[in-house]
Every structure is written in C-alpha cells, then in structure tokens.
Structure 1
Amino acid sequence: IMGSEEKENELYRITTSQQAFSSGCGAVITSVLVTPLDVVKVRLQAQSNPNLKGKILIDIEGVKSLWSGLFPSLAVSVPTTVVYFTCYDQLHDTFGSKIGEDHDSVPLIAGGLARLCAATATSPIEMIKTRMQSRRLSYKKLLACISSNVTQSGWLSLWKGWGPTVLRDVPFSALYWCNYEYLKKRLCKKLGKREPTFLITFSSGAVAGSIAAVLTLPFDVVKTHKQTEMWEPVSTHGIIPRLTKIAPACAIMISAYEYGKSFFRRINKDKAMKNL
C-alpha cells in the first residue's frame, strides 16, 4: 500500500522538463565551482614530475589556467547531467514499480544504466575537455589536433578513452546512487524528516561520492592517460585531488538537483490546490 508521502510525491510529481531544468542548473553551478579542482586532478595524473605540479599550474600559466576547459566542461556536463539525472529518475521509477521502491538493486541498476547512456553520448566532448585541461591549448590548436586525428584514425578516434570512461563511470554511478539513497533514507529517519533537507542531501552526496571515487580511482587514471596519450610512469594516482574534486562536486550537484525538484514539486502542488 502506498504511504501518504508516496501518494503526495506521485500526485505532484515533477515533469521531465522540470527534471531536466533542475539538473541543467545544477550542472552549471557545479562546473563553475569544481572546474579548478578537476584541472588540478587531471594535471597531477598526467604529469610524470611531481616537483613541477604547482609551478606548471600556477606560476607559469597563471590562475586563469585553473578554469581551462570550462566551456568544454559546460558543454559536457550540462547535456550529460540532463540525460544522466533524468534517465536515472525515469529508470528508478520504472524498476521501482517492478521490483519494489525500497529494493537495494534499484538505484544500483538505474544509476549504472543511466551513466552508460550519458557517457556514450558525450564521450567525444569529454575527451576534448580532458586534453584542454592536461596541457594548455588554444581552441585553434585543439581543433587542428582533433582534425588531424580524425583524418588519420577516423571518427572513432573521438571516442578514445570510451572504454576506461565507461569502466569508471558506470560502477561509480551505480555505487554512488546506491550509497546516496541509503544514506539519505538513514539520515531522514534518524533526524525524523519526511523530506531530505539541504544538509542531508549535501552530506549524503559527499560521502557517497567519496566512497565511489576511491573504489573507481584506477579507472580514472587509465581514462586520463588514454585521452591525453601520455603513458609515462606516474608517480601519483591523484587520490587526494580526485577526492577533493568528487566530494564537493557530488554534494553540490545532488543538493542543487534535489532542491530544484523540491521547488518544482511545491509549484505543482500550489497549482493543483488552486485548481481544486
């Protein structure tokens, strides 16, 4: 039997376009705030000389280099996040109606499948973003490099690193959503909240993202090297930079998304009440 909370959520369920708008706004906010951390992570993974880390990034190229690849990052994150989060909610509802809303496998399966679709669709732009962050390139040089690769290796070269990306992102997503949904429910129950607060979603997202990031770190290193074509021995795997980036990124993104859904749910409820 559906409880009062489930009935209310079903009655005032947000539309697909509202889900897309919420996830898109969250992606923009997250990209702007987290891009510098992503740049540091990529540089540390791609460099073979640990003594030059700080100097290469700031002293030589300037602080603006921290936002290198921001536009490709937005070009990747906005459509990817819209597809990803919208697919997740749709798949979560579909699987939840078939095998039970509270079944542990629901977020696991929905998260993995949603990420597979999103990662495949935007893999070429992800590759471009990674190359821009690994070493400073003008858009003209970047386009020339991509054009040369396509001429020599064909269009499939744009999906270089797709395998490691999928191997990293699919298990990351499955682990992330499974842990996030679990932590969110536990915190709501412990604090006696019917709806998750900003603090609950933020902390759940940060912890869930950190756990998933640690477990999938080797695939992230492989993906970075594959896309930057740098296979020198690496002295650091970048676990700290990855955690420093992933934890706040997951926390900011999921908090913004949940807030957006809650906002639209209130609007839908107000409209429904006015029409009674």
Structure 2
Amino acid sequence: MESETEGIPIIKVTPLQQMFASCTGAILTSLMMTPMDVVKIRLQAQNNPFPKGKCFVYSNGLMDHLCVCEEEANKVWYKKPGNFRGTLDAFLKIVRNEGIKSLWSGLPPTLVMAVPATVIYFTCYDQLTALLRSKLGENETRIPIVAGIVARFGAVTVISPLELIRTKMQSKKFSYKELHQFVSKKVSEDGWISLWRGWAPTVLRDVPFSVPMPLHMSTWIIMKNIVAKNGFSGLFTGIIPRVIKIAPACAIMISTYEFGKAFFQKQNVQRQQY
C-alpha cells in the first residue's frame, strides 16, 4: 500500500478500494445514461418495429450488448407504442404516459454484465500499470497499451460465462432453478469450457488495437432494407441520444473512479498518520 518516490512515501489505494470505486462509477454511469438509450431504442422501434426473434443493441453507457425480442412483443418496454417527433419529445411523452421509471427499462440485465466487467477492467488496469512502471520505469510509453490489453483479456474471460447465461435469460423467461439446470446440463454434456464459447470473437471485438472481425453480409442486407424503406436518414435514427450519451458516460465513469481513489488515498494517509 505504500511506496517511495525520491525518498517521499506515497500511500496508494488497495485493490479492494479500487474495485469499490470502479463499481460505484459503473452503477452511477448506468443509472444516469440508461434513459438516453431507452429513448434511442424507442425512436428506432417507432420507425422500424422489432419483430419477434430479432435483436437490437442495448447500452447503459459502459458497454453494448444484443437483446433478443421476446414473444409477448406488445407487453415489453421496447415495443410500447408512441408517436415521438424527436429526442426531447420522446423523453417528455414517456415520462408523462408511462412514468419516470420507464426511462430505466431493461437496466437490471445490463448491470449484471457491466458492473463486474468494469470493476475487473479498471482494477486490473491500475494494478498492472503500477506493476509495470515499477519494473520498467515511469517513462515507458507502452505501459498503458499493454496494461489495457491484458486487463481487457481478463475482463472478457471472467465475464464470458455470464454473457452466455444472460443471453439465455433474454431469449426466454427462466426461473433460477431452470437456469441452474440449464448450466448443469451444458457443463455435463460439453464440459466447463463450453461456458466460454464465443470468447475468441468477443476478445477480437473488445481488446484495444485488435484486428476487426469481418462485417457479416446480413448487416449490408439490413442496411439496404432500412435505406429502401426510410431513406438514408433511417440509418441514423436515434443518433442524437447516442452521441449525447458517449461523452458524459466516459466523464461520469472516469471522474467517479478517480474521485473514489483520491478519497480512499486520503483516508489511507490519515490512518497512516495515526
């Protein structure tokens, strides 16, 4: 917890404190940014309704994932009817007609993935950065790149089984008993390694500076259909809340994390003095 630079002791935060700070940042970012994505999805669904079995991208400001449309499409939040003229109009009408809680629809399954992934990534990144700097020196420019890549590898590896379970839960309503039976059956039939199926493409997608995956042809078909039905502007439906969300999401996450570390560092210094 304590190191020394030019004879001056520096009190550092512990990994547990880093985890708490990053967890707080992840939750705050999710709570504050989710309404933007709910509005974006509702605007997209208004112009291009999501048919049963199809997927759409959901994000809480920290990470994106695919959601599968459920059977009772007329009852789920992203299928609710609306006549929105724009982002602000959608905000006001959703709150007035459905209640303010509707702006956080779909948040719980996202938190299941985003919080542990963020905690693992930020904590591993800081720990690896400190370790590499102690070995290679403070001025080594490649340290952030190496630490970021290794930390992302770790986060993806730990989260992959949760991704599999979350995807299964979204495809159908499962009780905890049924979910446990599904996981047990999968492990008994295909082994524990089956829980990490899809790890490789996820790594290629998430690890910084990795080689992109080829764009599947179905993506081009979907884009052509959207342009044919709604024109070129249809490709950018919901772009305003998406763009508005990115900058504040990064600011909230990073500033909360750094503030948390500074708070714990101050506490550690005070305990050290006494």
Q: Choose which of 116, 129, 140 in structure 2 pairs with 1:103.
A: 140
Aligned to 1:264: 264
Aligned equivalents of 2:78, 2:215: Cα separation in 1: 19
SS of 1:11's equivalent in the other structure is strand
When normalised by structure 2's length, the TM-score is 0.58
**1:17-36 equivalence runs, <5 A:** 17-36=16-35
Name the amino acid aligned to 1:118. Answer: A
| Aligned counterparts of 1:161 and 1:238: Cα–Cα separation in 2 | 30
1:58-94 CA-to-partner distances (Å, cap 9, x unmatched) read 6349866654442232222222222211111110011
Q: Distance in 1 between matches of 2:187 and 2:151?
A: 32
| Alignment partners' CA distance in 2, 1:243 and 1:51 | 20
The DSSP-based 3-state class of the residue aligned with 1:103 is: coil
Q: Distance in 2 between matches of 1:129 and 1:87?
A: 24
Matches within 5 A, 1:167-182: 167-171=204-208
Counterpart position of 2:113:
76
Q: CA deviation at 1:262?
A: 0.5
Answer whether contact 2:187 2:195 (CA < 8 A) is retained: no
Number of the residue aligned with 2:159? 122
Deviates more, 1:232-241 or 1:256-265: 232-241
1:189-233 CA deviation, whole Å, 9 max, x = no partner? xxxxxxxxxxxxxxxxxxxxxxxxxxx9x76987xxxxxxx9793
Shift of residue 161 of structure 1? Answer: 3.7
Identical pairs, percent: 45
Q: Where do residues 1-276 of structure 1 align in structure 2 (5 Å cutoff)?
A: 11-37=10-36, 51-52=48-49, 57=78, 59-60=80-81, 67-129=104-166, 138-140=173-175, 147=182, 150=186, 154=190, 158-171=195-208, 233-235=221-223, 236=235, 240=239, 243-273=243-273, 275=274
Q: Distance in 2 between matches of 1:41 and 1:116?
A: 30
Q: For the residues of structure 2 that align with 1:158 and 1:238, how far apart are their CA atoms?
A: 35
Q: Which sections of structure 2, spanning at least 5 residues, go unmatched?
A: 51-73, 83-93, 224-234
The runs of 5 or more residues in structure 1 that have no matched partner are 175-215, 223-229
Cα shift at 1:255: 0.9
Q: How far is the alpha carbon of 1:108 from its aligned partner? A: 0.7
Structure having the larger proportion of residues in strand: 2
Structure 1 residues 113 and 93: CA distance shift in structure 2, 3 A: same
**Structure richer in helix, relative to its length:** 1
Shift, 1:242, TM fit: 5.7
Alpha-carbon distance in 1 for matches of 2:156, 2:128: 16
CA RMSD of aligned residues (A): 4.7
Deviation at 1:12, TM superposition (A): 1.5
Quote the residue 2:230 is aligned against. Answer: none
AA in 2 matched with 1:81 = T
Query: Is the alpha carbon distance of 1:256 and 1:170 closer, same or farther for their aligned partners in structure 2, counting shifts above 3 Å?
Result: same
| In 2, Cα distance between equivalents of 1:87 and 1:30 | 20
Q: Which amino acid aligns with 1:51?
A: N
Q: d(CA) in 1 for partners of 2:155 and 2:116?
A: 8
Aligned position for 1:198: none
Residue-pair matches, total: 216
If the length of structure 1 is used for normalisation, what is the TM-score?
Answer: 0.58
Q: Cα–Cα, structure 1 residues 43 and 147, in superposed 2: closer, same or farther, change >3 Å?
A: farther
Please tell me whether Structure 1 or Structure 2 has the larger radius of gyration of its CA atoms.
2
